[in-house]
């Protein structure tokens, strides 16, 4: 029997102060990110902000600075340029354009064809999003996050006691905030595909939490005389290996996506990798302590007497 | 007990068989199948999304307000005629969507309200102000969107795109998807052109005409319009004709003062085709009117000999020749320094008819075929590597039981592809990511069960009892963790656009199928092993 983790007796709940500080910082960064996004001060993708994105694939190596110069001289302002991880691919994004939709991409490609006549390219993709659609997608994304969270909260509340639901929801929010915050700090683009990853993380990070909670619930019934904190610690230790193994397999497939899946879902996989790691951490260090805290305030003794 | 295993074994075999059957069209094998097979067996398979096969996804907004305005304009014209016919004198003016008639008299009210019951009075003071009723305005907007879809469909059919998707979204938006289109820019232009063809008289007699500069530079139009906005006669408008100097290639704009009222519009057209001008060997578009159009055109030309008649397309003058004599036969020409493609595209939009109102492009997602095939290759590679990593890990960590979990994983992938094919679902790049994530999640259920079994074995149970109680006890944990993922997938499906919907589909199918493969698939294998003889030791 190969067991990487065997009969551990780690005092997870005892470390809750450290965990709360770390998680507090992560969550605050996430909240700051949300405020900045709402104020339009984040690196919003064109699907939220509106604008034009053009992805070109060149035949030969091309210098990004020269391309930047060429586009600037072509009269396009306020754009950013990004080398993609696939060779000779480049992404040009122009935000909030005054020009009529569609004309801008012609302007950019026209300039590049003119300036680099001996380095041919194919247009991989052109995405043009009008401000109206961008605004609508922002609202949709916000609604989706609220709906998903509510749905999960309701389901957990039905299947577990309310205090467990609180713990699971706080842990889930924590995971989403942490990944969003890290993306924000890294200056990564906040776009639809990231929201998709965040929602997936919300759904998946619960898997670990449910595993832990199931065991705590089971052990609370069996070890009714022991203090809750100890029961929780024992439970977390008992399921530690499966918590880590289940996350590890998803981490493996996320890594495969990150390294081999191509540029379209590169950021998505990065978010998933972070989400899986943060989700595992939070199901151990955040979810249960929250339940414990919540119970400490409530008349938990009543349950014990009963 | 044994019967039970057999029954489950049959169920698994059947589902796998069906999955393969449905997925077959996506494999090269399908083309080699006999014809009876192709005719009678599923032939659709999984469709590739626009992001994987290349193509354009466009969203247009129909400017319904404009359609209401056009109708109001028409009513204004016929109202003037009606009042004149009744030998009443009144001043009829229009401001946006409101028609004002003065003075306010019972006779006029009667005429207006009898001939146009769709108008509702909004002001009955010194003058009468009418608007189209809200109900009528909404009907017009509704109609405009319906008609626009029809027209766009016609244009795309003539342009030639295989399997376009055109549908309405909300009240006034039109979604157009053109998979594999070669020249997206041209397609967008053809769809978006209003193609409102009008014939209007040039108002050379107006004293103001002499004050307006004959030609201006491009870009100066707006300033000029502003300058003359107050001075133009109320029935006139100022439009421009684009002039290209044949020697220098210099572009200028010629100003033309026109009577606002269109004598004729493009709806009486029966045919449009490209011809080549003999002198400059330049393409031009010749149009032929239908019988009613030909008659009207003859009447118009007869009534306005020696005057100039302007041909206007979408608010730009293309030419304004002097009518030398009455023109019978019902044909006209549109010239304008077209390229061959432009001329061809113009015939397409003219034949398909004008859009009832202008459309505005809200969104354009164009994916070239090379990115699509790059994505597919990357997705395949990531999928294979991800699968290998997970498969190896399971064998190393769980030994023979890991092999059983890997068998379940394989089953999961086959059933997932089969389920997508049977639903004729669309596979997108995020969808591929969903499949690969589902691969990682698929073994989770087995991990949960195996760990339970280990617990049970440690507590001294026999392998068979450990398997049974392991499955039994892990069931609700597995169920709960799957449901939470399904909730988010459902939300994603609800709000997502094309590619993300694809992700929600693959992820939710993957998770649902996983419940089946984990709870029935692997359990059957364990039972099969245990049923032969009492296993002494479980390789886990």
How confident is the model over A160-179, as pLDDT tens digits? Answer: 888 888 888 899 899 999 99
pLDDT above 90 (res B385): yes
Q: Classify B168 as helix, strand or coil.
A: strand
- CA angle (A171 as vertex; A169, A174 as ends), nearest 5: 110
Sign of CA dihedral B309, B312, B316, B318: negative
CATH class for the region spanning A51-129: alpha beta
**pLDDT at residue A180, as a whole number:** 94
Write the burial class of residue B121 (CB in 10 Å: 0-12 exposed, 13-18 middle, 19+ buried): middle
* Cβ pair B134, B163 in contact under 8 A: no
Neighbours of B321 (CB within 10 A): 13
User: What average pLDDT is seen over chain B?
Assistant: 87
Question: Is A273 a residue whose pLDDT tops 80?
Answer: yes
> Exposed, middle or buried by CB within 10 Å (0-12, 13-18, 19+), for A242?
buried
Residue A306: predicted pLDDT: 34
CB B225 within 8 A of CB B255: no
**B420, B301, B434, B503: which is closest to B42 by C-alpha?**
B420
**What is the pLDDT averaged over residues B121-126?**
82
Q: What is the 3-state secondary structure (H, E, C) of B23-34?
A: HHHHCHHHHHCC
| Residue B119 pLDDT grade (very low, low, confident, very high; cuts 50, 70, 90) | confident
By CB neighbour count within 10 A (0-12 exposed, 13-18 middle, 19+ buried), where does B402 fall? buried
For residue B322 the two structure tokens come to 């002097």
pLDDT band at residue B2 under the 50/70/90 scheme: low
8 Å CB contact of B367 and A102: no
Q: What does the DSSP 8-state code read for residue A50?
A: -
pLDDT at B232 over 60: yes
User: CB A102 to CB B371 under 8 A?
Assistant: no
Confidence check: pLDDT of A302 > 60: no
Contacts of A148 in chain B (CB under 8 A): 487-488, 491-492
Selected residues 171-200 of chain B with any CB under 8 Å from a CB in chain A? 184-185, 188
Under an 8 A CB cutoff, do B484 and A262 touch?
A: no
- Rounded CA separation A92/B325 (Å): 57
Whether B455 and chain A come into contact, CB under 8 Å, resolves to yes
**Smallest CA–CA separation between B87 and chain A, in Å?**
48
Q: What is the mean pLDDT of residues B239-265?
A: 88
- How many angstroms separate the CA atoms of B182 and A48, rounded? 28
The pLDDT of B127-146, averaged and rounded, is 89
Cα angle: A181, vertex A184, A186; to 5 degrees: 110
Report, as an integer, the average pLDDT of B284-298.
91
Write the residue in B370, B394, B488 that is nearest to A202 by C-beta: B488
The whole-angstrom separation of Cα B332 and Cα B313 is: 13
Tokens 């990682």 appear where? Answer: B440
Q: Is the Cβ of B500 closer than 8 Å to some Cβ of chain A?
A: yes
Among B306-320, B332-346, B462-476, the range with the most confident prediction by mean pLDDT is B306-320
Among A231-245, B25-39, B367-381, whose mean pLDDT is lowest? B25-39
The domain made up of A13-43+133-305 has a fold known as Multidrug efflux transporter AcrB transmembrane fold (1.20.1640)
Rounded to an integer, the average pLDDT of B369-395 is: 91
Residues of B in contact with A141 (CB under 8 A): 495
**Structure confidence at residue A250 (pLDDT):** 93
Residue pLDDT, tens place only, B358-372 = 898 888 889 988 888
Residues 6+ apart with CB under 8 A from A101: A52, A128, A130, B361, B362, B364
Nearest C-alpha neighbor of A148 from the set B506, B483, B489, B482 = B489
3-state secondary structure of A306: coil
Question: How far is C-alpha B368 from the geometric centre of its chain's CA atoms?
Answer: 17
Interface with B, mutate which of A47, A55, A104, A203 (most B CBs under 10 A) = A203
Confidence band, pLDDT 50/70/90 cuts, at residue A133: confident
Mean pLDDT, residues B407-417: 92
> How many CA atoms, within 13 angstroms, populate the side-chain half-sphere of residue B82?
18
| Gyration radius (Cα) of chain B, Å | 35
Q: Which helix (H) or strand (E) holds A81?
A: strand A79-83
Contact A144, B491 (CB under 8 A): yes
DSSP A13: G
CA distance A137 to chain B (A): 9
The reported pLDDT for the residue numbered A50 is 85
Given B397, B481, B503, which is nearest A196 (Cβ)?
B503
| Res. B8: pLDDT tops 50 | yes
Q: What is the CA radius of gyration of chain A?
A: 24
**Domains present along chain B, CATH in parentheses:** 2-54+368-532 (1.20.1640.10), 65-135 (3.30.70), 197-352 (3.30.1360.200)
Model confidence band, residue A181 (pLDDT cutoffs 50, 70, 90): very high
Q: What is the pLDDT of residue A303?
A: 47
Q: Which residue of B has its CA nearest to A195?
A: B492
Q: Say yes or no to pLDDT of B85 above 60.
A: yes
Residue to test with chain B: of A200, A201, A244, A267, most B Cβ within 10 A: A200
The nearest alpha carbon in chain B to A1 belongs to B540
Give how far A16 is from chain B: nearest CA, Å.
Answer: 25
Q: In the predicted model, is pLDDT for residue A1 greater than 70?
A: no
Kindly determine whether residue A250 and residue B381, on different chains, have CB atoms separated by under 8 Å. no
Among B382, B430, B484, select the one facing A152 at the smallest CB separation: B484
- Average pLDDT rounded to a whole number, residues B278-287: 86
Span B312-334, average pLDDT = 88
Proportion of chain B above pLDDT 90, given as a percent? 22
For residue A304, the model assigns a pLDDT of: 44
Contacts (Cβ under 8 Å, ≥6 apart) of B430: A193, A196, A264, A265, A268, B499, B500, B502, B503
- Give the count of Cβ contacts less than 8 A between chain A and B: 219
Q: What does the pLDDT read at residue B1? A: 53
Write out the two tokens for B232. Answer: 């133009």
Q: Mean pLDDT across the stretch B331-335?
A: 86
Quickly list DSSP for B172-221: TEEEEEEET-S-HHHHHHHHH----EEEEEB-TTSGGGGTS-SEE-TT-H
- Alpha-carbon span B273 to B317, nearest angstrom: 19
Q: What is the DSSP letter of B425?
A: P
Residues of A in contact with B379 (CB under 8 A): 261-262
Distance CA B380, CA B375 (A): 8
B197 CB burial (10 A radius; 0-12, 13-18, 19+): buried
From the candidates B48, B495, B500, B502, which should be mutated to test the interface with A, based on the most A CB atoms within 10 A? B495
Q: Which residue of B has its CA nearest to A133?
A: B362
Nearest to A249 among B393, B488, B492 (CB): B393
Given a cut of 60, whether residue B111 has pLDDT beyond it is yes
Q: How far apart are CA B513 and CA B441, in angstroms?
A: 11
B400 at A interface, C-beta within 8 A: no
Question: Scanning every residue of chain B, which has its alpha carbon at the shortest distance from the alpha carbon of A7?
Answer: B455
> A86 vs B374: CB contact, 8 Å cut-off?
yes
What pLDDT band is residue A301 in, cutting at 50, 70 and 90? very low
User: Are A31 and A37 a contacting pair, CB within 8 Å?
Assistant: no
Contacting residues of B for A242, CB less than 8 Å apart: 447-448, 451
Nearest CA of chain B to the CA of A144: how many Å?
A: 6
Rounded to whole angstroms, the Cα distance separating A105 from B364 reads 11
* Residue B308: exposure state from Cβ atoms within 10 A (0-12, 13-18, ≥19): middle
Q: Which range is least confidently modeled, A85-89, B16-20, B169-173, B403-407?
A: A85-89
B435 touching chain A per CB within 8 A: no
Q: How many Å apart are CA B521 and CA B57, to the nearest integer?
A: 40
**Across the interface, do B484 and A143 touch by the CB < 8 Å criterion?**
no
- Of A57 and A270, the structure prediction assigns the larger pLDDT to A270
Nearest CA in chain A to B384: A256
**Domain locations in chain A as residue ranges:** 13-43+133-305, 51-129
Provide the pLDDT confidence category of residue A305 given band limits of 50, 70 and 90: very low
The per-residue pLDDT for range B486-512, each reduced to its tens digit, is 888 898 888 877 778 888 899 999 989
> In the prediction, which pLDDT does A208 show?
86
Q: Are A163 and A302 in contact (CB under 8 A)?
A: no
pLDDT of residue A101: 58
Residue A242 has its nearest CB partner, among B188, B447, B503, at B447
Q: Is B305 touching A (CB cutoff 8 A)?
A: no
Assign A83 to helix, strand or coil. Answer: strand
Map tokens 């359990």 to a residue.
B523
How far off is chain B from A235, nearest CA to CA, in Å?
Answer: 13
């Amino acid at each position: 029997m190969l067991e990487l983790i065997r009969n551990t007796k780690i005092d997870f709940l005892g470390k809750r102060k450290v965990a709360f500080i770390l998680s507090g910082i992560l969550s605050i960064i996430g909240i700051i990110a949300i405020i900045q996004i709402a104020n339009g001060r984040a690196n919003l993708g064109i699907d939220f902000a509106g604008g034009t994105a053009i992805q070109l694939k060149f035949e030969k190596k091309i210098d990004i600075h020269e391309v930047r110069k060429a586009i600037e001289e072509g009269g396009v302002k306020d754009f950013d340029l990004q080398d993609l991880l696939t060779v000779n691919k480049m992404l040009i994004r122009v935000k909030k354009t005054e020009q009529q939709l569609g004309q801008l991409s012609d302007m950019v490609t026209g300039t590049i064809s003119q300036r680099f006549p001996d380095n041919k390219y194919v247009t991989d993709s052109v995405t043009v999003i009008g401000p109206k659609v961008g605004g609508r997608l922002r609202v949709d994304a916000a609604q989706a996050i609220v709906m998903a969270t509510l749905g999960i909260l309701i389901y957990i509340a039905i299947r577990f006691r309310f205090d467990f639901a609180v713990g699971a929801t706080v842990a889930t929010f924590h995971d989403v905030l942490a990944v969003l915050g890290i993306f924000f700090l890294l200056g990564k683009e906040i776009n639809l595909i990231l929201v998709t990853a965040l929602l997936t993380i919300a759904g998946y990070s619960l898997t670990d939490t449910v595993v832990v909670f199931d065991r705590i619930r089971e052990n609370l019934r069996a070890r009714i005389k022991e203090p809750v904190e100890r029961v929780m610690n024992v439970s977390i230790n008992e399921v530690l290996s499966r918590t880590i193994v289940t996350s590890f397999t998803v981490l493996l497939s996320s890594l495969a996506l990150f390294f081999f899946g191509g540029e379209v879902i590169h950021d998505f996989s990065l978010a998933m990798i972070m989400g899986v790691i943060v989700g595992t951490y939070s199901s151990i260090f955040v979810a249960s302590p929250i339940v414990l805290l919540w119970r400490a305030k409530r008349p938990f003794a009543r349950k014990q007497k009963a | 007990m044994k019967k039970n295993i057999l029954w489950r074994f049959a169920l698994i075999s059947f589902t796998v068989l069906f999955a393969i059957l449905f997925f077959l069209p996506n494999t090269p094998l399908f083309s080699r199948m006999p014809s009876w097979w192709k005719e009678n067996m599923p032939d659709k398979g999984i469709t590739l999304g626009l992001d994987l096969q290349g193509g354009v996804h466009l969203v247009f907004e129909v400017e319904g307000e404009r359609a209401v305005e056009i109708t109001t304009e028409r009513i204004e014209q016929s109202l003037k005629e009606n009042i004149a016919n009744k030998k009443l004198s009144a001043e009829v003016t229009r401001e946006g969507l409101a028609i004002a008639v003065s003075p306010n008299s019972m006779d006029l009210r009667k005429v207006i309200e009898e001939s146009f019951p769709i108008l509702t009075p909004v002001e009955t003071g010194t003058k009468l102000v009418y608007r189209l009723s809200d109900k009528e305005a909404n009907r017009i907007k509704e109609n405009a969107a319906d008609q626009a879809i029809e027209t766009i469909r016609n244009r795309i059919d003539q342009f030639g795109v295989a399997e376009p998707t055109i549908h309405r979204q909300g009240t006034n938006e039109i979604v157009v998807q053109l998979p594999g289109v070669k020249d997206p820019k041209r397609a967008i232009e053809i769809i978006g052109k209003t193609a409102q063809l009008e014939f209007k008289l040039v108002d050379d007699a107006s004293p103001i005409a002499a004050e307006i500069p004959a030609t201006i530079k491009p870009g100066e139009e707006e300033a000029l319009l502003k300058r003359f906005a107050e001075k133009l006669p109320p029935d006139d408008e100022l439009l421009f004709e684009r002039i290209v100097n044949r020697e220098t290639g210099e572009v200028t704009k010629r100003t033309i003062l026109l009577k606002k009222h269109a004598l004729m519009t493009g709806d009486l057209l029966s045919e449009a085709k490209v011809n080549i001008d003999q002198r400059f060997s330049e393409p031009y578009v010749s149009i032929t009117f239908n019988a009613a159009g030909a008659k009207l055109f003859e009447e118009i030309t007869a009534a306005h000999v020696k005057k100039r008649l302007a041909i206007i397309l979408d608010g730009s003058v293309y030419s304004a020749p002097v009518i030398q004599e009455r023109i019978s036969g019902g044909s006209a020409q549109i010239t304008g320094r077209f390229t061959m493609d432009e001329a061809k595209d113009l015939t397409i939009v003219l034949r398909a008819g004008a859009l009832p109102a202008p459309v505005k492009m809200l969104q354009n997602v164009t994916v070239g075929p090379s990115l699509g095939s790059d994505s597919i290759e990357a997705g395949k590679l990531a999928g294979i590597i991800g699968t290998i990593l997970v498969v190896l890990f399971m064998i190393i960590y769980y030994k023979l039981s890991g092999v059983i979990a890997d068998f379940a994983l394989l089953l999961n992938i086959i059933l997932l592809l089969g389920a997508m094919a049977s639903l004729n679902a669309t596979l997108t790049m995020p969808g591929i990511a969903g499949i690969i994530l589902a691969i990682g999640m698929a073994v989770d259920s087995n991990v949960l069960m195996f760990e339970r079994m280990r617990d049970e074995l440690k507590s001294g149970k026999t392998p068979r009892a450990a398997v049974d109680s392991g499955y039994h006890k892990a069931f609700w944990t597995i169920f709960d963790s799957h449901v939470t993922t399904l909730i988010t997938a459902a939300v994603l499906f609800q709000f997502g656009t094309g590619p993300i919907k694809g992700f929600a589909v693959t992820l939710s199918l993957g998770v649902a199928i996983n419940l089946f493969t984990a709870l029935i698939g692997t359990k059957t294998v364990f039972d099969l092993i245990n049923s032969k003889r009492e296993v002494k030791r479980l390789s886990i």
